[in-house]
Amino acid sequence: MKTPQKEQSLLIQHAARACRSAYAPYSNFHVGAALMTDDGEIFDGCNIENSSYSLTICAERTAVFKAVAAGKKKFRSIVVTSDDKGFITPCGACRQVLSEFSPKLEIILVTSKGKKKITTLDKLFPTPPDLKKLSHRSKRKAAK
């Protein structure tokens, strides 16, 4: 489902505000995201770095985790923006987390100059791992 222009603008505002809140003392690369639930609620997130890079969290996952902690698990669209002139797409870890909840999620990419590009998660991540199949296999083996 394509997000109406008015809602896109609101999401972009939220993502831009979140981008300004990013904690990025090591990379100086600020990213903001705004995630819209199926019922129109918005959860934003920013990247938060740590001196142990593996403990760093991306803006997209911050937004998803905030939403899930609030009991929301169905999402319509996400805006991802940064302080970069180019388009920034969700990383592999973020794609995996997003696909857990909304495999066909609309993704609106926005540059620091305000250029916009719209895609979907299933285009960026066409074949996510299906752990449900794996769990069925495990149950079958355990039953033998």
User: pTM of the full predicted structure?
Assistant: 0.90
The three-state secondary structure class of 57 is strand
pLDDT score, position 128: 87
Radius of gyration of the chain (CA): 16
**Residue-range domains of the chain with CATH:** 5-143 (3.40.140.10)
- CA nearest to 57, candidates 108, 112, 105, 94: 94
pLDDT score, position 143: 57
Answer whether residue 103 shows pLDDT above 80: yes
Q: How far apart are CA 58 and CA 49, in angstroms?
A: 8
Task: Select which of 7, 41, 49, 60 is catalytic.
Answer: 60
Q: How far apart are CA 76 and CA 39, in angstroms?
A: 9
pLDDT score, position 141: 58
Residue bearing tokens 């199926």: 38
Which H or E run contains 92? helix 92-101
Interval 32-63: pLDDT, tens = 999 999 999 999 999 999 999 889 999 999 99
Confirm whether 41 is a catalytic residue.
no
pLDDT score, position 129: 84
